[in-house]
Amino acid sequence: MEKGSDMESILKASIRDIPDFPKPGIIFKDITPILSNSAVFSRVIDEFAARYSKKTFDTIIGIESRGFLFGASLAYKLGKPFVPVRKKGKLPYKTVEATYDLEYGSATIEMHVDAIDKGHKVIVIDDLLATGGTAAATCALVENQGGHVVECAFVVELAFLNGRNKLKSDVHALATYN
C-alpha cells in the first residue's frame, strides 16, 4: 500500500492503541474497531480482492484467529478455497506442524495434512505482521507440503519489528507503522 493512501488513513483512524497490553511497555494495535464497522471491514476485503483478483493462486490460508476473519471473507469474495492454520491441538484431522520461537519460549501451529496439494500457490493472510514468527512458520508449513507462497498479506504491519525480514515471499500490508 502506498504510504499516506486513503485506505491507510482510514485504517489508522480505526485502529485503537491499548497501552501496556498484553504486558507493560507494549502498545497493542487493536483492530476490533475495523471489524465492528461494516463499511471499513468491507473496504479492507475489497482492497485485498482488487489486489489478489489479478494474481494467479489456488488457495487462501488464514492464520489463527483474526486471519480467519479476513482470509475466509476474501476467499468467499474471490471464490477460492480457505485453509485455516491453527495452534497445535485445535484441528481434528491429521496435521503437519511447524514450531517457531517466541520472545519467551516457543509455539507450534498446524495445518491439515491434505489442506494443499503439491504445487499449489497460496496467499497467506493475517491481521498483523509483528516479528514475523507465526507467518514464517505458516510459510514453512506450505513449503514443506510442496506449496508455494505467492504473497503474505496483512491489514497492519509493525515495520519497526522487522517481521518481513523473516519471510521469503512478497509482503503486502494495507497500513504500516514505522
Catalytically active residues are 66, 103
List C-alpha distances in Å: 76 to 28, 68, 73, 137, 157: 29, 12, 5, 25, 24
Peptide bond into 19 cis (omega under 30): no
Nearest in space to 151 (alpha carbons), one of 159, 160, 142, 10: 142
Closest CA to 175 of 159, 152, 162, 151: 159
Residue of 134, 175, 131, 133 lying closest to 155 (CA atoms)? 175
Residue type (1 letter), 72: A
- For 99, other C-beta atoms within 10 Å of its C-beta total 12
**Distance from C-alpha of 149 to C-alpha of 142, rounded to nearest angstrom:** 7
Start-to-end CA distance of the chain, whole Å, equals 14
CB of 167 within 8 A of CB of 136? yes
